[in-house]
Amino acid sequence: MEFVYLIICFLILFVIYIYAENKLLVVKRYIVRTDIKGLKIVQISDIHKKRCGKLICSKVRQLEPDIILLTGDIVSRKERDFSHLDRLTAGLAKICPVYACPGNHECDLPEKEYSVYKHIMEKNGISYLENSQAVYEHNGRQIKIYGAALKKGVYKNPEGGYSHLESYTTPELENAIGKKDGFTILLAHNPFCFDAYAQWGAELVFSGHVHGGAVRLPFIGGLLSPERKFFPKYSKGVYKSGKTAMVVSGGIGKLRIFNPPEIVFLETE
């Protein structure tokens, strides 16, 4: 009987822990060496249905970034009320320039809702990069910021499942956004196309999508990807290939265990 009570107490404490952890918003800090020094970047990704805009803006304001990057799934595909997005983006735009790319949830929005979503972004001064680019100047040097709108086939197959997903190649990326030009930051929601991003030549890539693997296991990392694949290759952190560094945010929304919601803060040196 005592063993049963211990199990029950453990389960209650575990549920309380999960609830408390999912209410957190931590700042995950990284330092990456690049040709451009002293650049401070905040990345926000995968908010989905979570409502914590005031907390996000407060945390970001304290970090005093040069730029803010929104790397997709800022809303859920089933959302129809975007008032929270309006408040969040208006608040972030008052801090510093904000750049965004679409995630798979934005791409799955019906046409009418997607138009509303884009209107809110543009109304609030967000540079919404849908296979397009913007230029940011830091200490006299130009930085090209590209946003890739990846095809739906890298997320789901035509039947809506996760088997036999399409690949995404460097020529496809170049055809969508053009050739790399100067120091570049690439916003691309799906990290599993990292080889294409690196071969294209981006110095910095910012991705999300994997939610840190939902559950983080000690010494192993993320457990599960949105594609229902165990132990995804890229789940959270900084990954390098040649001269390219990719930052994968664990995101903010969705249920998670040992994997608190996070804002990424990256400094270059």
Report the DSSP pairing between strands 221-222 and 237-241: unpaired
Q: Could you tell me the residue range of the domain that residue 106 belongs to?
A: 27-268
Is residue 165 in a domain? yes
Is residue 114 in a domain? yes
State the DSSP H helix or E strand holding residue 237, giving kind and residue range, or none if neither: strand 237-241
From first to last of its 269 residues, the chain has per-residue pLDDT tens of 778 888 999 999 999 999 999 999 999 999 999 999 999 999 999 999 999 999 999 999 999 999 999 999 999 999 999 999 999 999 999 999 999 999 999 999 999 999 999 999 999 999 999 999 999 999 999 999 999 999 999 999 999 999 999 999 999 999 999 999 999 999 999 999 999 999 999 999 999 999 999 999 998 999 999 999 999 999 999 999 999 999 999 999 999 999 999 999 999 99
Question: Rounded to an integer, what distance in angstroms lies between the CA atom of residue 116 and that of residue 50?
Answer: 19
Q: How many domains does the chain have?
A: 1
Is residue 157 in a domain? yes
Is residue 184 in a domain? yes
Is residue 138 in a domain? yes
Sorted by sequence, the CB contacts under 8 Å of residue 186 that are 6+ apart come out as: 146, 147, 148, 197, 200, 202, 204, 205, 206
Amino acid at 45: S
Counted residue by residue, the chain has a size of: 269
| Amino acid 103: pLDDT | 97
Amino acid at 187: L
Is residue 120 in a domain? yes
Is residue 178 in a domain? yes
pTM: predicted TM-score of the whole model, two decimal places: 0.96
Quote the Cα angle for 48-115-100, to 5°. 55
Q: How far is CA 59 from CA 50, 55, 91, 236, 258, in A?
A: 16, 6, 12, 20, 21
237 in the Ramachandran plot: left (φ > 0), alpha (ψ -120 to 50) or beta?
A: left
| Amino acid 204: pLDDT | 98
Directed axis angle between helix 53-63 and helix 83-93, to 10°? 10
* Beta carbons within 10 angstroms of residue 243's beta carbon: 11
Is residue 203 in a domain? yes
| Amino acid 2: pLDDT | 79
Query: CATH code at 89?
Result: 3.60.21.10
Helix, strand, or coil here: 249?
coil
Of 210, 245, 175, residue with least CA distance to 103: 210
Question: Rounded to an integer, what distance in angstroms lies between the CA atom of residue 142 and that of residue 128?
Answer: 19
Cα-Cα-Cα-Cα dihedral sign, residues 52, 187, 134, 27: positive
Report the DSSP pairing between strands 127-128 and 132-138: unpaired
